[in-house]
Amino acid sequence: MTEYGNCATTELNHANYSNRLFIDDALDDDNSVVRLPSQTMDKLELFCGDTVKLKGEKRRETICIVIFDDTCQDNRIRVHQVVQNNLRVQTGDVISIQGCPHVKYGTRIHVLPIADTVTCMVNNLIITRIFVTLLSRCLSTVIEAEPSPHCIVAPETVIDCEGKPIKREIKETFIDEISFDDIGGLNNVKRVLKEFIQYPIEYQDFYQKLGMAFTRGMLLYGATGCGKRANNYMTDANVSTDRFINQLLTELDDISAKTKVFIIGETNRPDIIDHNFFRQGHLDQIVYVPLPNEQSREAILKIALRKWPLSKDVDLKYLARVLNGVSGADVIEICQRACKAVIHELIENKRKNEMLKPVPRFEYDPFIASGNDIRRYEEFARMWQPSYGYYSSIHMINDTQNIKEGGDAKQGSAIYTDDDDLYA
């Protein structure tokens, strides 16, 4: 057993380190391939042209073709920007790579464009070939693939484009893109969660070799503000509480061990929960989520304030020390209130400055209109200014010479023609 355990540990360490690589930007425009140095390909037992599966830290996966590139450094992989976006990673992050030799050629894929990237389309008048051309010019997403979940698009693959463009919010996942790095403190709780969910999925082979049945249910409990949100969802279910509990226990019993389904419960009153939930096969893993200690509070402050401009005299260690006994939710609330106070102060200062600011004085710009032009326009306004009434009360100029000699502009009824020069 010891020899087998050492072998398993060696395999686990190999899986942990050798297939985890740092990302570098690709130097070409081919988003279907990734590049590795020949030394790394030998370690991973990969050949040029093999199909590999890439996985990011946020459990995003994609399929690419690997080729060797000796200009790439050891323990690094060149990944195109499109692939990085699909994996929700960026340059410098770590991704895992493993061979995926059994990917079949696709028989059919269903592709639809994103609605806000399609400028105009004629409904029911676009044949498939034209539609595929349009899809290459706008953002699109794969709705379904045969075979699933991965396949290679070949010339024989049928591209199904039937259907209306989908909205962007349907394309985006509803799962929050949050990793363990976004959680401040609670290292023991994060370790238990990794062993409970992440390890059985990533290292399923080791569980099967050792005959280990991993836990299916977990209960998180602790004080209010430590991450429990389900305690307010059942406020109106007092009448059918017994029926709900029985139905939930039945559903827990029906979950097969082969399905990758994990049940996580959370409460701030573990003392009033039915003890049947704590039996083997139900919520048998019970984890206490404590209030954050000083080190955890400092980590929460760093995560909460990492996108905010901070003054140089802000001491996060001092704040973490004086916030003793404060929950993580309260720490976030304090940061938000401090930000709101700064915003109010900036608004008040701006209003005071606007009230003290003198009214600007507008003057004629000689480069826009000269003084002679202004006088001509004013003379024109005096000549054509009507008296009170309608058009019948407007009198035209009788004689140009009369105007020059200072005569009355309202004498006579002669009018200018189009050939007359007003400013002559």
Bridge-based pairing state of the strands 108-113 and 76-79:
unpaired
Co-location of 328 and 389 in the same domain? no
**Which residues share a beta bridge with 33?**
65
Give the pTM. Answer: 0.43
User: What's the whole-number average pLDDT of the chain?
Assistant: 71
Cα–Cα distance between 292 and 342 in angstroms, integer?
A: 26
Say what the pLDDT of residue 404 is: 45
Tokens of 207: 């569980």
Co-location of 39 and 90 in the same domain? yes
Co-location of 410 and 337 in the same domain? no
Cα–Cα distance between 135 and 126 in angstroms, integer?
A: 12
User: Are 28 and 71 in contact, with CB atoms under 8 Å apart?
Assistant: no
Co-location of 139 and 69 in the same domain? no
211-220 confidence digits (pLDDT tens) = 777 777 788 8
- In this predicted structure, the answer to whether residue 70 has a pLDDT above a threshold of 70 is yes
Cα–Cα distance between 143 and 419 in angstroms, integer?
A: 73
Three-state secondary structure readout of the chain:
CHHHHHHHHHHHHHHHHCCEEEEEECCCCCCCEEEECHHHHHHCCCCCCCEEEEECCCCCEEEEEEEECCCCCCCEEEECHHHHHHHCCCCCCEEEEEECCCCCECCEEEEEEEHHHCCCCCCCCCCHHHHHHHHCCCCEEEEEEECCCCCECCCCCEEECCCCCECHHHHCCCCCCCCHHHCCCCHHHHHHHHHHHHHHHHCHHHHHHHCCCCCCEEEEEECCCCCCCHHHCCCCCCCCHHHHHHHHHHHHHHCCCCCCCCEEEEECCHHHCCHHHHCCCCCCEEEEECCCCHHHHHHHHHHHCCCCCCCCCCCHHHHHHHCCCCCHHHHHHHHHHHHHHHHHHHHHHHHHHHHHCCCCCCCCCCCCCCHHHHHHHHHHHHHHCCCCCCHHHCCCCCCHHHHHCCCCCCCCCCCCCCCCCCCC
Residue 205 lies in a domain: no
316-356 confidence digits (pLDDT tens) = 889 889 888 888 888 888 888 888 888 888 888 888 887 77
17-31 confidence digits (pLDDT tens) = 468 888 888 888 888
Across 187-207, average pLDDT = 79
Q: What percent of the chain has pLDDT over 70?
A: 63
288 or 245, higher pLDDT:
288
318 or 416, higher pLDDT:
318
- In this predicted structure, the answer to whether residue 290 has a pLDDT above a threshold of 80 is yes
Residue 7 lies in a domain: yes
Say what the pLDDT of residue 230 is: 37
Residue 184 lies in a domain: no
Say what the pLDDT of residue 15 is: 43
Say what the pLDDT of residue 415 is: 47
- In this predicted structure, the answer to whether residue 4 has a pLDDT above a threshold of 60 is no
50 or 360, higher pLDDT:
50
Find tokens 């102060």 and name the residue.
345
Residue 227 lies in a domain: no
**Domains: count for the chain:** 4
Give the domain range for residue 412.
370-424
367-386 confidence digits (pLDDT tens) = 455 567 667 767 767 776 55
Across 187-210, average pLDDT = 79
Co-location of 13 and 88 in the same domain? yes
Look up residue 118 and give its amino acid: V
Co-location of 349 and 393 in the same domain? no
- In this predicted structure, the answer to whether residue 400 has a pLDDT above a threshold of 70 is no
User: The CATH number of the domain where 161 resides is what?
Assistant: 3.10.330.10
31-69 confidence digits (pLDDT tens) = 888 999 888 888 888 888 888 888 887 778 888 888 888
Q: What are the backbone dihedrals phi and psi of residue 167, each rounded to the nearest 5 degrees, phi first?
A: -75, 155
- In this predicted structure, the answer to whether residue 137 has a pLDDT above a threshold of 70 is no
Say what the pLDDT of residue 414 is: 44
Of 99, 134, 150, the residue at which a domain comes to its end is 99
